[in-house]
Each structure stands twice: as structure tokens, then as C-alpha cells.
Chain A
């Protein structure tokens, strides 16, 4: 893994007409780091992502990025028409220097993991919004890249797929890929190493409230007809049945140790549960 940052900005700014979309953005992103950027509708997250990815020019400041391969999942992916998901991904793999023989099995595995059916015969322009988004995500993880830009990657995805996407991000990060991701609120994505909020054209770092050590995660699940309890009860440190008006009656919250969250989520999906929410567990000895 390189000791050099994969992306550096100094005083980066973008002005559209008389309005500053963002200004004085100083950012350093290191290999294997996850940088989260949140902000409301129209706050300029997507414009910032386009500038950072080099697909739009800045009006102020300096941007330096690695020359190694990069990938992006843009906001609002409109897929090319008259192409199957597989042929599309093979072309995208070739663009990053991958051979068809290498790309095709990888593309099929990613599409299978994301739950895209008939990758050889369905047409991209006939896919639902969520399935098209899955293809956009698959192209970003087709081959190892140094830096991955994910602009609201969970748009249109159901909760189960969000878990799969988060697992893909974690695997990429573990192999050294730096990830910059935006969401309105960073609640459904993996927890970023550094978190910023873009508001009133300023990017400010958000210092999250630290949970007490070893408090783990609180995972809300909803059972289906075939859901099984046994393995989850054994793996969780505590189980709570919901009976309040804000949540579905059948939902169950499990508190799981930090190191076992991924394993627990996979177990839950295998056993027929839907993931409703993943959050930090409240500190022991006191509620939130």
C-alpha cells in the first residue's frame, strides 16, 4: 500500500454563476480510507464529487489525484440502451485494461451477489431503477482501483442489497481502495473513517459522538415466513422485541459485538430476515 495520498485538494472551489457551490475545500484521502460526505438536497455533494473525480473543472484551488485507475458510481445512473448487463460490464472492464476472460466471471459473480437476474439476456434499459443501480455499482467494483467515488450508492436499493453493497465496499477498502461516498445521511452506508458535512458551500468535518468501547451494533431485523431465530439468538449479546408505534410490530433488535456485525448480517440474510437498520448500540448502563 502506498504512503502517498490518493487525492489532495487545497482551497478547492466551484462557482456557478454568482453562487459558490463549495469553497475552500481542503481534503486529503489516503489509500484504504473511507471518507463520507453528507448534505441535504442541492447542497452540492454531486458537484463536489464530479470535481473530485476530474469530470468537472474547479473554479478555484488545486486538485491532485493518483494516476492509478479510478471508478465512479454517479448519482442517477442512466444505463446505455440495447446492452445486456454482462456485455456492458465486459466493456467497462476493458476500459480499465481487463481482459474479457478475466472480467466476465468477475462480472457474473458481482451481479449474482447483487441479485441481478438474467445478466446475459436482460437489457439494461429494461431494468428497474434499483437493478440498474446494482449494475452501476458492479462496474465500480469490477477491478481493483485506487480510488472509488460513490455518489449516493444506495439510491433505489432495498435494505438487503445495501448490506451487500456495504460488504463490497469493505472488501475494496481492505484491499487498499480509498472510497469517497456521499449520502443525504450516512446511516445506511458503512461507517466512514472521516465524515464531512457540506452545508452553505462549506465542507466541515463532523466529529461523531464516540460510543463506549465494546458497545457493539444494534441491528433491527424483520422476519419473513421462513425466518429462523436460533442462530441469531445464540450470536447476539441481547435481543429486544419492538412494541412501539414508530416501528413495525414484528421487528426485532439484536445487539451484536462490533467484530461480529458482518457475520451476523450474513447469517440473518441466510436465515430469511430483512435488515431494517444498523446503528451503534446505546452505551451500556444508560439509554440514548
Chain B
């Protein structure tokens, strides 16, 4: 698994496909953080931006190799599905790395350094929000990638449409969960925030599982 993660990282790094999503994420988050403010507020906005960035990174990682190379990697690694899971975990790992930087920056740029709602509560809330955002991004990215969506143009269009929808629609599951988590431990008890977060995790895992099953069935 580690060898495959290294390979996927190396491929993404040298192909420079990571540049657009990560630069976009860094620039957008930088603009929000430069204004300062409450860590949980700015950190939640950054988590929202992490969602499309992770979707983009995931699709890039899944599209970086030709099918002949995917075949070589899958046979060498043991199975198509295991190789796919390793690629998804690599994308999730990259998103978590961004999330840690983002949460650190949110607390650092907060004048109270997250102490307003309690540092531990703020840190836990932000990490949960970002983790969920990253997981949702990986799940959506895989569902929009080939071979389920074989044409790259349609793949990107669908991904952009769905991410905008999930971010922009006020009552989308992602927005509801992020709103609940950002108030958890401060304006509302954790017991009210965790069930919807759990449901989102279940939804993401189901989407990942279904897409993996379809990938296994439709693998070239």
C-alpha cells in the first residue's frame, strides 16, 4: 500500500496535476485567513473549499495513468480494487495534510487562537469538519472518475456541478453537517452535531463502496 501511495504521489507530483486544485485552495483560504476572525468560522469556510479541492485531486489521481499502466499496477499490486483503494487513500492523505495546515492556520490567525470556544473544542470541531469534507471529496471524486464516467469532459462537468450544488444549496447534507459541527460544544451540544456527521460518514462510505463495486464490475 505504501509503495503504491509513493507511486501515485510521484505521478501526481511530476505530472503537476496537483497544482491547480491546491493553488486554488491555498489562494482562497489565504484570502479568508488574511481577514482574521474566529477560528471556527474561517476554518469552516476553508473546510468547504477543501471539498471541491479534494474532489479535483481525487479525479486527477485516478486519471493520471493510462489504462495499460493501471493494468500493470493492478496486477503487480494484487487486484484492481486494492490498487484503486490505495489511490483513494493517497488522495485522502493529501487532503488531510491540507486540512492540518488549514486548521493550524485558522487557529494561528484567530486573535484569540481558538480560545473563545475552548481550544480543544475548536480544534476537535475543525478537524472533524475538515475530515468529513475530505472524505466527501474523495467519495464524490471517485464517483465522477473513469471508468464510471469514462469521458474526461463529462467527468469534470459532473464534479463541478455536484460540488457547487453541495456547497451552494443551503440545505445540502454537507452544509447542514458543517453548520451543526461548527456550533458543536459552543452554541449547541455535541450530541446534536454528531448524528448528522455520522450519517454523512455513512453516506460517504456507501458512495465509496458502491463506486468501488461498480468499478470492479465495469473495469476495462
Contact = CB atoms under 8 A, between A and B. Distances in A.
A75 B72 CA distance: 11
B87 to A, nearest CB: 12
B6 A55 contact: no
A50 B71 contact: yes
Contacts of A57: 216-217, 219
Q: Which of B69, B75, B217 has the most CB of A within 10 A?
A: B75
Interface in B206-220: 216-217, 219-220
A54 interface: yes
Contacts of A75: 68
A73 to B, nearest CB: 8
Interface stretch (B76-84, B156-164, B195-203): B76-84
Given A81-B15, A94-B3, A76 B68 contact: yes
Given A56-B220, A82-B15, A91-B10, A72 B3 contact: no
A74 interface: yes
B192 interface: no
Interface in B1-33: 3-4, 6-7, 10-11, 14-15
Contacts of B219: 55-57
A136 B72 contact: yes
B69 A71 contact: no
Given A54-B75, A72-B71, 19 more contacts: A54-B79, A55-B75, A55-B220, A56-B219, A67-B78, A69-B76, A70-B75, A74-B68, A79-B69, A80-B69, A82-B15, A83-B14, A91-B6, A91-B10, A92-B72, A94-B3, A94-B7, A95-B7, A95-B76
Interface residues of A, number: 32
A72 B220 contact: no
A228 B183 CA distance: 86
Main secondary structure of the interface of A (DSSP, over half): loop
Contacts of A82: 14-15
Contact-residue bracket for chain B:
20 to 34
A82 to B, nearest CB: 4
A53 B73 CA distance: 12
Interface of A: 50, 53-57, 67, 69-83, 87, 91-92, 94-97, 136, 139, 149
Contacts of B217: 57
B72 A72 contact: yes
B79 A74 contact: no
Interface string B65-97: 111110111111111100000000000000000
Interface in B128-152: none
A53 B77 CA distance: 12
Contacts of B3: 91, 94-95, 97
19 contacts: A53-B71, A55-B75, A57-B216, A57-B219, A72-B72, A72-B76, A75-B68, A77-B72, A80-B69, A81-B14, A81-B15, A83-B10, A83-B14, A94-B3, A95-B4, A95-B7, A136-B68, A136-B72, A149-B75
A206 B176 CA distance: 65
A75 B3 CA distance: 25
